[in-house]
Structure 1
Amino acid sequence: MVHNNKLPSCFGRLDTVFPKGKDGLRETPEKCLLCFHKTECLKVALQATDGLRAREELVDRAYASGIMSFLERWSQKKELRRRIEAKTKG
């Protein structure tokens, strides 16, 4: 785990460390690739509410492209929604 007093101000912010590109896909900026905290930072960002919503985007894209069945999509989205609600309530 990383010590909180040594973290950059952008640590764990999804729109900063994993923003959407012009094509609508998320990509890591060059400056983040050079950062010592990049792996832990991205993990924290993806576990936050915005990160769970980003995972919903992935599920929707997988379903739209035919990689995922309706029931699998429904199940994953239900679990993601449950986790999002738990994070927003408490």
Structure 2
Amino acid sequence: MTFPKCFGDLQKVFPMGEDGLRSSPDECLACQCKTDCLRYALAGTDGTAVHEEQVDKVYNSGNMGFLERWSKRKTLHRAKSKRKNK
């Protein structure tokens, strides 16, 4: 299977919208490898930033306490460091 040139590029397949939310463009939704592409993009180092954004949004909305936020961010930081060391 050959992948398109944009495969796994987080800024192309899951960009930040003007409203501050991430969403896939229409052309990505029509692609046959969209699920694998998004998984690959989110598994990379840029994907950690997306997970950090999600944690911060939940914290800012008041649905998560400080210690839970700290714990989740620490886990994400460790995973990011582990990927860099490989």
Question: TM-score band, normalised by the shorter chain?
Answer: over 0.9
Counting only pairs closer than 5 Å after superposition, residues 23-42 of structure 1 correspond to structure 2 as: 23-42=19-38
* Unaligned ranges ≥5, structure 2: none
Cα distance in 1 for residues equivalent to 2:13 and 2:35: 10
Cα distance in 1 for residues equivalent to 2:72 and 2:78: 10
Match of 2:53 among 39, 54, 57: 57
Structure 2 residue 79 is matched with structure 1 residue 79: no
Alignment RMSD: 0.9
Cα distance in 2 for residues equivalent to 1:73 and 1:22: 25
Structure 2 residue 85 is matched with structure 1 residue 89: yes
* Unaligned ranges ≥5, structure 1: none
Q: How high is the TM-score relative to the length of structure 1? A: 0.91
> SS of the residue aligned with 2:52?
helix
Q: How high is the TM-score relative to the length of structure 2? A: 0.95
Cα distance in 2 for residues equivalent to 1:54 and 1:45: 10
Cα distance in 2 for residues equivalent to 1:9 and 1:88: 24
Letter aligned with residue 53 of structure 2: E
Deviation by residue 1:11-70 (Cα, 9 ceiling, x = unmatched): 111101000001111011000000000001001111111011110001001001001111
> How many residue pairs end up in the alignment?
86
Structure 2 residue 14 is matched with structure 1 residue 18: yes
Show structure 1 runs of 4+ deviating over 6 A: none
